[in-house]
Structure 1
Amino acid sequence: MSNSQINYFIIDSSSSIEHNDVDFKYYSYQNHNNNQLHKGDLIIYRRSGSASEWGNEFYLYGAGRFGDVVRQDPTTGNDIVTIEEPYLFSHCLMKQNLRTFDWTFRKFKGKWSNFFNMNGITQINEHDYRGLLERQKNMTPEIPELSDEEELLAVKCYQAEKNEMYFINDEAKGIKTYNAVQKFFADKVKFNYHYKSAVAGPVDEDDLVVARIIPWSENQEIRLDPRNGISFTKELAKAFTAGYFTFNDKGHIIISDVSAPDAETDKLLNKYKNRKIHMNYQYSPNREYLQYHREHIFKR
């Protein structure tokens, strides 16, 4: 139901301690100079191009509700506000995902310059807010519906990974963790690979899945580490998980001498023999994880 008392915004966040921003927890802004935002307003997070890890391209990645002012920073004059009801997108919305979006708060003329306000706070309408949430959800139909507790856990996974804390147990406060972790982990890995296959190049995104290098059940300490995941087509992911190919430390494919159960898989693997993984060095697979895969999963 529409609520005329609620306003809707896209806000920029750098998730920077220097700016007192902590994604899905705190937001800092100049309330005295810009009093648009009020408790109860709904927001969508945007990482601006200048703060983006993805080739200076902005993206939308989550949502929440404005809460109470918990502190005023005397140095900057900023209000620090809590974020309630945090919600992590199951698919970051990149430029290419938004070009065909039916924006109604402002006419999109094909260029993003000046589309979002320079002060980092852009007021939109309920139609656009609901539509953006629906867009990201529709891009990942394979993600199961999560409970409110699981959604919150997915956000905590996001925050833990930001702090390079990769451990998670099978359960957290009685909640099975796997689905929440997968929501965070799968999109994080695909995002790092620019929503492409690590070896096959551009493919239909519906055909992309994430394979863990070290299986979920083998090591709780690295379950949230995106460097333990690789984005593949479904066929390659299945072959990698089964051990019919692996990678050396430099990222080149090594094909097993053991034939796959079907000729089509063998043919596919031979097509990519000696192919090097396409990856940003910063997010490339951990060499220790690849070594584990070669020693314990790769078929010899």
Structure 2
Amino acid sequence: MSSPGRGVLGPVIVTADTQAHVGFFTEVLGLEMRGQVERDAAEAERMWSFGQPVLETALVTPGTYGTVRLLQFAASASADTVRSPETGDRRDAFKVIDFYCPDPDSVEEHAVRMGARKLKPTASYETGGLSFSETHLWVGDGVVCALCAGDREDFGRFVRVRDRVASEVMSVSAPVHDARAAHRFYREILGLEQVMEYGFADESFQHMVGLADDGGISAVNYGSDLRDPFIGIIDYGPGDPAMTLRDARPPSRGIIACTVAVDSVADVLGRAAGAGLSATEPIHTELAPWGPTTSALVRSPNGILHHIVAATT
């Protein structure tokens, strides 16, 4: 088993159909399945604060730390999804998993053949002197994957894999109401670095993401390195505070958390407690694909879950 390393690793998805997601991520985006763990109700309660037996599946882009983790609970699948096509500009929950794709058209065609849905036209925009295209695909359980394309050399700034159908997880984005509180959380509680900041206004992008306001967006990305997975904190502007998806959690289906590898779970929990943030007690257990780990759930000031993990020596 490999060490989880340090920094953002990728999304945690609650699904009603593990095999459908395994098929999509392996066949369309080139990840590999790297292990499964079954937990009984008691252990699932300790780890996920939901007391039903759960099957955990880990998918990894070979040669990278980029990891997609799937949770399928034994209970009947929840009718509730964290996101839907109708919740475009609602905030305070993870929204999109980004991948770089050298040939996004062929990836899109393959994805659609496997049941993915493209509900809005591809967006084309410029930011930071670079030109991008971005296609959003709904792939089940309210999960959205973005196919990002542009100059291959330019994307060498953001990902390590550029010679396959898709890169490793590049980022997981989260629009929030209180960006300032989110920035403090990632820097001071999780100990991540600000790896990029940008902003732009583009009509095609705003239409694709369902943003009612025409004022554009600004964003700050947090991780350990710009070429490793990062979390993108998106500021859509003031918005309506009532339009929120705050406190997304199991058993709701969709992207319910991000995995973040840290040096010390105890240190992060201590900082979270000092800031008045809620967290679970640490648990020492086998965690695919890394083996023995210590982990805990920490909720950000915006109500977003983060599964922090560290190798157990």
TM over 0.5: no
State the TM-score, normalized to the length of structure 2. Answer: 0.23
Q: Which has the larger radius of gyration?
A: 1
State the TM-score, normalized to the length of structure 1. Answer: 0.24
Which protein has the bigger strand share?
A: 2
Which protein has the bigger helix share?
A: 1
